[in-house]
Amino acid sequence: MTKTLYVGNLPWSTSSEELTDFFAQYGNVVGSRIITDRETGRSRGFGFVEVASEDAERLAAELNGKDFNGRTLTVNEARPRQTV
């Protein structure tokens, strides 16, 4: 089983590979994705990291507020997307 973590306040230049590598230092990472603007293709400054369920709570607590390439990360468990 996996859980998805929201990761905010990312540097604009962050790649999903960098995000995966960073989180993999702390726990079992399945994958990650950076959210980009549909029109420009630029990063929107946040992304999602899929991790093993047993690591999710610990990773969110450990990495929230951690420095990543000069930015202070916001990390918490992702909420399901709201449909309008």
pTM, rounded to two decimals: 0.92
Residue spans per domain, the chain: 2-77
Candidate CATH numbers 3.30.70.330, 3.90.550.10, 1.10.580.10, 3.30.420.40; the one for domain 2-77? 3.30.70.330
pLDDT digits 0-9 by tens, 14-71 = 999 999 999 999 999 999 999 999 999 999 999 999 999 999 999 999 999 999 999 9
Q: DSSP assignment, residue 53?
A: H
Burial environment of residue 10 by CB neighbours within 10 A (0 to 12, 13 to 18, 19 or more):
buried
User: Which pLDDT band holds residue 81 (cuts at 50, 70, 90)?
Assistant: confident
Cβ–Cβ contacts within 10 Å for residue 80, how many?
A: 6
